[in-house]
Amino acid sequence: MKNTHLRFIRLFLFPILILAGTTLKSQVITSVTIDSLVERTLKTFDVPGIAVAVVKDGKVIHSKGYGVRSLKTGEKVDSNTLFGIASNSKAFTSAALGILVDEKKLSWDDKVTDYIPEFKLGNPYVTEEFTVRDLLTHRSGLGLGAGDLMIFPGNNDFTMKDIIHNLRFLKPVSSFRTKFDYDNLLYIVAGEVVARVSGISWEDFIETRIMNPLKMTASVSTFSRLKNPSNVIDPHAPVNGKVAVVSRDFSEVFNAAAGIYSNLTDMSKWIIMQMNHGKYGEGENLRLFSNEVHREMWSLQTIIPVQDSTMYNTHFSGYGLGWFLSDVRGFKQVSHTGGLEGIVTQVTLIPEMKLGIIVLTNQQLGAAFTAITNTIKDSYFGIKGIDRVKQNSESTAKRQAKAIKITDGIWSEIAKQQKTYSGKANDSLFTGSYTDNWYGKVEISIKNGKLWFDSKRSFSLTGEMLPYKGNTFVVKWNDRSMDADAFVIFDLDQTGKATGMKMQAISPTTDFSFDFQDLEFKR
C-alpha cells in the first residue's frame, strides 16, 4: 500500500453513465469532500492515520495523508508515508510469475513439483496435479487460512523449508479445485517458485524487475530493507479497549504473501500500470508484462458465491491471479485488501472507468477503508444519499456487540469457576509437552501456581490457562492486542490424565489466521 502527496485536485464532470438501462449523471467527489470524509472516518473508527489516493484516466487527482503515523510520535501522515500493504503484495507475486511466463521460463500450468520437488500435500493426486496457477487461486481444498499459525503472529521461527514440508500435514476441507478458501501459505510457495526459476530471491526480483522499472523509489519488498525508515507508520490495535501502538512482528518468510512496504506515490504508479495492461513509462512505450499475461491475471479462476448483490448490483464474484474480481453496477471491479497486525489496506480498480482508489491505514479495523472506498465509488456511480461511514460503523458495532456478548458470557463463567475451582491439585494431569504435526511443540506447565501455555515456536502465544468447564480451559494470551484468546479442550484417558488437546478461538471476530481449530496436539 502506498500514499501519494498531491496538493491540488483536478475536478471532473464525469460523463453520463448508462447502467442497467438507467441514465445516471455522477457528481464526482472533490478533494475537499474526501478530506472531510477521511477526517470523519479517523474519528468514527479510532484510526490514528490514513492515506488516500484517487487515480483517474492515468493521472493522480487526489493523494494525501491524514492523522498521524504513530500515537507515540504524533508525526503526520503524508502521501509519502510508508505502510505495510499486506496481502496487496500478492498481486506483485502474480506479476513476478507473469514476467517469467512472458520470458517462457515457466507456464501458469506447470506443475509445482517441476520447480520444488519436495512440495507435497496430504493427497498424492493433488500433489502431482498442483500447478503454479493453483498456488495463486485459493482452491487447493485446504481450509481458510490453513497453517497460518506458522506465520502469524510473526514472532516465530518457522522457515521456508518448514512451511513447504508441513503443508503435507494440513487436512483438506473440500475437494481440490472445487471451492474458494483464502490461503497465504501457497503464495509463500509461489514466491519460492519465483526464486528458483529466476535464480534470485523473491525480494530481489520484486525490487529489480517491478519496483525499479516503475520508479517505485521508496518501496521495498520487506520492512527490513527500508533505506529510510523516518517516514513509516507504526501499527496500532485496540489493547484492553484503547487503541495503542503494537509490535511490528513479521516473519520474512511471509514476504511473497504480505511483505511489501509502499506509499501512495508508488502505489499510484503500480495501479496506473495495471490499468494500462502492463504498459508504463513516457508514452506508455514500455511493458512490465504482456497483455496476454495481464488478461490471465484479471480473468476469473475461482468462483466465490455472491452473498448480497444489493449494494452495487453484483451478480458474479471470484478470484483471478492475485486479485479479487466482481461486477459492480455493470462494470468490472478488480480489488484486494490486506491485513497485518495493526495495519489494513485496500486497492480498488474500475478499469473501464480508468478509476483507481488506494486506502492505507495504520489500525486493523477494515470498516474504515471500506467506508472511504465505497463513498468515492458512489460518487462515480452517481449513488447519492448513502452514508457509508454510518453504515459501516453500525454494522461494525453490531458485529462487535455480538462478539462481546459471547466473550463476556465466557469470562463470566470463568469468574464463577475461579471462585469455586477445586482442581488445582489435578492441574498436573494436564501438564507436559504436546506436539502437533505441522505446528510443533507446546508446553503446558505450572508457573507461580498457575496453569500456563507456551508455544515453543510461535513466541507470542504464551499465557495463563483458566478453568472453564469440565476438561476445557481458556488461554488468555499475554499480548492483549491479538483478540485471539482460545479454548483448550483436553482429551483424557481412563485415569483422567490428558493425552492430547484441541483448540478454538473464543471470539467470532478473531482473525482467521489464528487457525487454532486445525491443531491436533498429542502428548
At the second CATH level, the architecture of 421-522 is Beta Barrel (2.40)
> pTM to 2 decimals?
0.93
Which fold is adopted by the domain 17-141+176-386? Beta-lactamase (3.40.710)
CA dist 38 and 49 (Å) reads 10
pLDDT of residue 27: 66
Question: Quick check: 24 and 16 in contact, CB under 8 A?
Answer: yes
DSSP letter string, 462-485: EEEEEEEETTEEEEEES-TTS---
List, in sequence order, every beta strand (DSSP E) within 329-460: 331-340, 343-350, 355-361, 432-436, 440-447, 450-455
Q: Please give the Cα distance from 166 to 183 (Å, whole number).
A: 15
Q: Which three cell numbers stand for residue 379?
A: 460518487
Residues 6+ apart with CB under 8 A from 302: 137, 138, 139, 180, 318, 319
Q: What is the pLDDT of residue 283?
A: 87
Helices 388-420 and 31-45: crossing angle, nearest 10°?
10
Please give the span between the terminal C-alpha atoms of the chain, in angstroms, as a whole number: 43
Closest by Cα among 38, 80, 76 to 60: 80
78 neighbors 5 (Cβ within 8 angstroms): yes
- Name the grid cell of 510: 478473531
**Angstrom distance (rounded) from CA 107 to CA 352:** 28
Closest CA to 85 of 331, 206, 257: 257
Place of cell 493523494: 63
Q: Which of 279, 364, 404 is nearest to 49 (CA)?
A: 364
DSSP 123-169: SHHHHHH-BHHHHTTT-SSBPTTTTGGGTSSS-B---HHHHHHHGGG
Helix (H, G, I), strand (E, B) or coil at 332: strand
Is the sign of the CA dihedral 378, 267, 235, 321 positive or negative? Answer: positive
How confident is the model at residue 308, as a pLDDT? 73
| Tens digit of each residue's pLDDT, the chain (523 residues) | 333 332 222 222 223 233 333 334 456 899 999 999 999 999 999 999 999 999 999 999 999 999 999 999 999 999 999 999 999 999 999 999 999 999 999 999 999 999 999 999 999 999 999 999 999 999 999 999 999 999 999 999 999 999 999 999 999 999 999 999 999 999 999 999 999 999 999 999 999 999 999 999 999 999 999 988 999 999 999 999 999 999 998 999 999 999 999 999 999 999 999 999 999 998 899 999 999 999 999 999 999 999 876 789 999 999 999 999 999 999 999 999 999 999 999 999 999 999 999 999 999 999 999 999 999 999 999 999 999 999 999 999 999 999 999 999 999 999 998 888 766 768 889 999 999 999 999 999 999 999 999 999 999 999 999 999 999 999 999 999 999 999 999 999 999 999 999 999 999 999 999 999 999 999 9
Strands of 26-139 (E only): list them. Answer: 49-56, 59-67, 83-84
Q: How far apart, in whole angstroms, are the C-alpha atoms of residue 154 and residue 56? A: 37
Domain boundaries, the chain: 17-141+176-386, 421-522
Cβ neighbours of 117 (radius 10 Å): 8
